[in-house]
């Protein structure tokens, strides 16, 4: 086994892990990033695409937003569509802030390019990652690469390896998991087509929810609510397009979403999940390793970025002062934002989706809530504040 030492060992080269490594580098703190996939995989896996105003500001401040400003799509509002009528929520008018549509894989490309240009230590295709001794002053991570076992010792291990990663399991039964599974899923498609609208459309329909989004001036991203156990094979292209047209309908007529070549189809389960605490000893968790939110609120990547920022500040404060105050309060500081995002995502989900059964009482409540949100400046401002961050 090879042995080496760094200050922070980071597991996972997603947005949280790469941003954390970059922030630590700017503070003069060394790190090693371990990733079980290859570079091409992490740079091309399609994930979230909405950046809060504050997330964009963070990326600007750390010098990785040049391409984002060139290619990102700035949105100053969203549309809520129900009962065949569209209602715009003017987010920038209400809050002075906006969102930017820019794919998570693009953020990863920008962060990774910067880390490698700065001499960052990012190791791909590592296997059998294991976390050790998190309750001691010298936690370590071991892994296999090139047929050799390696061991990296640090002062802190940052678990940024997602919901299915090894980090959360390494904390054992000291963590408490709170979760909720929703009785539906999202079928998502990526389409080579010029978007028909300049802002996102959230549609509530008697057949279920639909979302019109985009990834670039040439690529649209659309979602349909489907059953929790639905299979992609049950949704041929014609059925997808017909259902989208129906759910986005205006004034009793189908609305053409702009057909094009579908080049990616997938089904995403809907769930909420929070780990409390988000740390054990010298192991700190960030992003999907600690929490999952329904995508309706567009909060997943934004929470990961915020976790990385809090964690970097805590670690930098510890090294500069010798005090572990911010490290010890990391969970409390992070969860305040996590639970607010969980509530907003749950609220958007429960307001816009069709729940199992023909519950007309529930439907009337949802319609009344949508009418309140679109008819009241106070309600609309509350939605806008949460959406832009």
Active-site annotation holds for 182:
no
* Burial status of residue 316 (CB atoms within 10 A of its CB: 0-12, 13-18, 19 or more): middle
Buried b (16+ CB within 10 A) or exposed e, 28-57: ebebbbbbbeebeebeeeeebbbbbbebbe
Report which DSSP code applies to 141. Answer: E
Active site residue 387: yes
Query: What would the two tokens of residue 218 be?
Result: 């040439």
| Cα 288 to Cα 293: distance, rounded to the nearest angstrom | 9
Q: Which of 102, 143, 182, 387 is catalytic?
A: 387
β-bridge partners, 219: 192, 216
**One of 25, 75, 291, 306 is an active-site residue; which one?**
75
Task: Please report how many Cα atoms fall inside a 13 Å half-sphere around the Cα of residue 283, on the Cβ side.
Answer: 27
Query: SS3 for 270-324, per residue?
Result: EEEEEEECCEECCEEECHHHCEECCHHHCCHHHHHHHHHHHHHHHHHHHHHHCCC
From 294, 295, 306, 354, active-site residue:
295
Chain center to CA of 311: 17
Indicate the helix (H) or strand (E) that contains 211: strand 210-216
The catalytic residue among 53, 109, 150, 299 is 299
Q: Give me the catalytic one of 202, 212, 223, 330.
A: 202
Closest to 63 (Cα-Cα) out of 8, 122, 113? 113
Active site residue 354: no
Q: Which residues are catalytic?
A: 75, 202, 295, 299, 387
């Amino acid at each position: 086994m090879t042995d080496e030492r760094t200050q922070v060992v980071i597991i996972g080269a997603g947005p949280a892990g790469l941003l954390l490594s970059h922030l630590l580098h700017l503070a003069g703190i060394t790190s090693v990033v371990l990733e079980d996939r290859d570079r091409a995989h992490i740079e091309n896996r399609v994930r979230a695409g909405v950046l809060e105003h504050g997330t964009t500001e963070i990326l600007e401040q750390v010098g990785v937003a040049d391409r984002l400003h060139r290619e990102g799509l700035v949105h100053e509002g969203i549309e809520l569509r129900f009962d065949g009528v569209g209602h715009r929520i003017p987010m920038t008018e209400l809050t002075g802030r906006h969102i930017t549509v820019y794919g998570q894989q693009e953020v990863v490309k920008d962060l990774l390019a910067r880390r490698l240009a700065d001499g960052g230590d990012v190791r791909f295709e590592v296997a059998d990652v294991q976390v050790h001794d998190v309750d001691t002053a010298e936690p370590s991570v071991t892994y296999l690469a090139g047929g050799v076992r390696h061991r990296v010792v640090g002062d802190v291990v940052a678990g940024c390896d997602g919901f299915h990663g090894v980090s959360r399991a390494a904390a054992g039964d000291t963590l408490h998991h709170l979760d909720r599974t929703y009785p539906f899923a999202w079928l998502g498609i990526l389409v080579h087509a010029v978007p028909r609208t300049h802002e996102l459309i959230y549609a509530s329909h008697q057949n279920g929810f639909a979302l019109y989004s985009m990834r670039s001036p040439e690529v649209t991203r659309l979602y349909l609510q489907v059953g929790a156990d639905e299979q992609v094979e049950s949704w041929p292209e014609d059925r997808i397009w017909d259902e989208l047209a129906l759910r986005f309908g205006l004034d009793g007529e189908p609305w053409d979403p702009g057909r094009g070549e579908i080049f990616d189809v997938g089904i995403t389960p809907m769930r909420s999940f929070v780990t409390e605490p988000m740390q054990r000893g010298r192991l700190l968790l960030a992003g999907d390793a600690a929490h999952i939110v329904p995508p309706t609120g567009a909060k997943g990547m934004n929470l990961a970025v915020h976790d990385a920022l809090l964690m970097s500040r805590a670690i930098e404060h510890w090294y500069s002062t010798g005090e572990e105050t911010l490290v010890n309060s990391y969970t409390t500081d992070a969860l305040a934002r996590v639970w607010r995002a969980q509530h907003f995502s749950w609220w958007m989900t429960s307001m816009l989706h069709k729940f199992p059964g023909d519950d007309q009482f529930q439907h009337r409540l949802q319609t009344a809530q949508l009418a309140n949100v679109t008819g009241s400046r106070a309600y609309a401002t509350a939605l806008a504040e949460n959406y832009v961050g």
